[in-house]
């Protein structure tokens, strides 16, 4: 049975990485001491080693050890041996390109659908949707496909951002962008504000954290959902 946390961000403003969600992670990863970390998204372009070290120091707070997938000879095989997986944030295009290049997509789907606990934050959450087409990231590399893991039957927009009042910038708001998405795609999008996450347990999908989320369905007005709402029927 699927056991997944899909978090908007690793870090909330003023906080330390993952501190706002550490209790949940203790529960998510209760049956494993070691977590396989996938650092492919490389935030700010940092190396896989540096990123993995940073995450290891966070997980040491709950007595977990962390090993980076790049430390294994065969990334795809490493996934099949993992007892818990974390895919961190950074650039989604870089992440998805690397997952395809290292033939990780199929095994990730298989492992997580069979119940290996999975944590995604930011880019690592975006790939839990059907496609990466609602990422906020810059397309700095060209991935072989925008199709992602489909752990939920909709798309994720992490770091969901409400329109900035009195902004004089003429770029599109996040809502406008997601509405444009629905001119070419029909599946729903869940905009997760920073500090929110989706908890997936088997076929149950629940919004957690203290904030509302914003849901965009094809041919409907966007709407807000309260925390603890179940999204099991959203397809």
Q: Which residues are catalytic?
A: 122, 137, 159
Phi (first) and psi of residue 130, to 5 degrees? -65, -40
Per-residue string for binding with a copy of itself, 25-44, x by CB under 8 A? Answer: -----------------xxx
* Residue 210 near a copy of itself by CB under 8 A: no
With CB under 8 A as the contact rule, which of the stretches 70-78, 100-108, 135-143, 208-216 interacts with a copy of itself?
135-143
* Residue 212 near a copy of itself by CB under 8 A: no
* Residue 110 near a copy of itself by CB under 8 A: no
With CB under 8 A as the contact rule, which of the stretches 60-68, 74-82, 131-139, 201-209 interacts with a copy of itself?
131-139
* Residue 149 near a copy of itself by CB under 8 A: no
Please give the structure tokens belonging to residue 40. Answer: 């492919």
* Residue 219 near a copy of itself by CB under 8 A: no
* Residue 48 near a copy of itself by CB under 8 A: no
With CB under 8 A as the contact rule, which of the stretches 26-34, 78-86, 175-183, 205-213 interacts with a copy of itself?
175-183
DSSP 148-210: ---SSSSEEE-S--PPPTT----SPPHHHHHHHHTTT--S-EEEPPBTBEEEEETTEEEEESS
Residue among 98, 168, 171, 84 nearest 136 (CA):
171
Please give the structure tokens belonging to residue 141. Answer: 């590399």
Whole-number Å distance between alpha carbons of 35 and 87: 10
Residues facing residue 3 across a β-bridge: 201
- Least distance in Å: CB of 179 to a copy of itself? 7
- Least distance in Å: CB of 32 to a copy of itself? 28
CA angle centred on 21, ends 160 and 75, rounded to 5°: 85
* Residue 139 near a copy of itself by CB under 8 A: yes
């Amino acid at each position: 049975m699927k056991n997944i946390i899909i978090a908007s961000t690793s870090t909330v403003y003023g906080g330390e990485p993952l501190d706002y969600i550490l209790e949940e992670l203790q529960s998510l990863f209760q049956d494993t001491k070691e977590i396989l970390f996938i650092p492919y998204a490389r935030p700010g372009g940092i190396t896989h080693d540096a990123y993995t070290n940073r995450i290891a120091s966070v997980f040491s707070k709950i007595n977990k050890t962390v090993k980076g997938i790049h430390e294994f000879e065969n990334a795809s095989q490493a996934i099949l041996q993992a007892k818990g997986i974390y895919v961190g944030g950074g650039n989604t295009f870089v992440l998805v390109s690397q997952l395809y290049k290292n033939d990780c997509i199929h095994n990730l789907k298989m492992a997580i659908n069979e119940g290996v606990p999975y944590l995604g934050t930011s880019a690592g959450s975006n790939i839990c949707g059907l496609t990466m087409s609602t990422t906020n990231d810059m397309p700095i590399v060209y991935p072989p496909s925008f199709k992602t893991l489909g752990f939920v039957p909709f798309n994720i927009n992490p770091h969901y951002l409400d329109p900035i009042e009195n902004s004089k910038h003429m770029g599109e708001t996040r809502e406008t962008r997601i509405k444009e998405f629905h001119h070419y795609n029909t599946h729903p999008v869940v905009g997760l504000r920073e500090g929110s996450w989706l908890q997936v347990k088997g076929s149950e999908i629940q919004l957690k954290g203290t904030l509302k989320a914003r849901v965009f369905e094809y041919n409907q007005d966007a709407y807000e959902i309260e925390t603890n709402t179940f999204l099991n029927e959203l397809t």
